Amino acid sequence: MRKANLYRYQLPIQTGVVLRKKKLHERAGLVVFLQEQEQVGWGEIAPLPTFSEESLSQAESQAKNWLKAWQNGEENSLDALFPSVAFGLSCALAELSGELGKQGNYQSATLCYGDLTKFTPINSVGKLKIGVMPEKEGEQANWLLSTFPTLQFRLDANRQWSLPQAVKFAEKIANANKPRIQFIEEPCHSPELSRQFAQQTGIVIAWDETVREPNFVVKKEQNLTAIIIKPTLTGSLPKCVKLIEQAHSLGLKAVISSSLESSLGLTQLARIAYQYTPNSLPGLDTLNLMQHQLLRAWQGSSLPLVELENEFVREVVL
């Protein structure tokens, strides 16, 4: 006997969260519950505004159709579903089958945002969003690297720069500090320009958006050190695991990264990171942008926990 439920949540977030120049005032998504006999599984479907190809209403419609079919005993493929839907459902199925382990990696690269003078790295790895003002951001990154001599840095430009702009950024980084930049994610408008940037500056790069392009295949390249996997934007857990295995087989790092999921999704990403990328620090330091947790608590967080019976959550009729 199979049972499925779907819930929609809307959680307020901290002011000032900007995604591609658009302010985000709340985080909305779906929670999936599956039950078969005594086994249960949970998953989160949360398209990221301005990044996901699908809207929340499209994801909800697709999820409802899949869940109704699953309740009737059908084993429909996840491959044709939107990435966020495929990932959330695959996590619920992985919990249901016991495929997803219980232990998680709750360490994360420390996201640096807001007032840089207040940045104190909890771990030895920090992350800085860049891509607006190359020279100023280069000075900021260099200041942080000089201020914290043991800090390793990950930078993310989201393909915002031309090659000359990216080079201007790099020129502000002292040569002594460059080796402590683990990578810059997609510094330029295209992968080819990012390759040229790495060749010219000696700063290694990582693929992020490129990983989600159609027919992407992991390849070993000069100056490429990692691929960033954001499962909500990438697709099902099996698809993500395949990418991880391809990267590892070529000696590249695979980094699990969040897409502003709630604590439910974040804890599952932590478990995925522990299970499949044990030697790579994930990028999951986004819970501080939230004002609440959802269903499952993140290790060490004091934010209030929202259960299903709450003003922020309502059940969706299948």
The type of residue at 53 is E
- So what's the pLDDT on residue 76? 86
Q: pLDDT band for 310, please (50, 70, 90 cuts).
A: confident
Give me the CATH topology for the region 110-289: TIM Barrel (3.20.20)
pLDDT band at 82 (very low <50, low <70, confident <90, very high): very high
Q: What is the pLDDT of residue 17?
A: 66
- List every span in the chain annotated with CATH 3.30.390.10: 2-100+299-316
Closest listed residue to residue 20, CA positions, set 300, 234, 209, 218: 209
Examine the pLDDT at 77 and tell me if it is beyond 80.
yes
CB 121 within 8 Å of CB 63? no
- The pLDDT of residue 14 is 77
Q: What is the pLDDT of residue 236?
A: 98
Q: Which ranges in the chain are annotated with CATH 3.20.20.120?
A: 110-289
pLDDT of residue 16: 61
Percent of the chain at pLDDT > 70 equals 96
Reply yes or no on whether 3 is catalytic. Answer: no
Interstrand relation of 2-12 and 26-36 (parallel, antiparallel or unpaired)? antiparallel
**pLDDT band for position 115 (50/70/90)?**
low
Residue-averaged pLDDT of the chain? 93
Residues 6 or more apart whose Cβ sits within 8 Å of residue 182: 125, 152, 153, 154, 204, 225, 226
1-12 pLDDT per residue, tens? 899 999 999 998
Residue 129 buriedness (CB in 10 A; 0-12 / 13-18 / 19+): middle
Class of the 2-100+299-316 domain?
alpha beta
In tens, the pLDDT along 22-43 reads 677 889 999 999 999 999 999 9
Candidate list 3, 64, 168, 230, residue with the active-site label? 230
Predicted model pTM = 0.94
- Active-site hit among 21, 102, 129, 220: 129
What's the whole-number mean pLDDT along residues 295-315? 92
* DSSP-assigned states of every residue in 129-189: E--S-HHHHHHHHHHHHHHSTT-EEEEE-TT-B-HHHHHHHHHTS-TTTGGGEEEEE--BS
Residue 102 annotated in active site: no
Residue 103 has pLDDT above 70, yes or no: yes
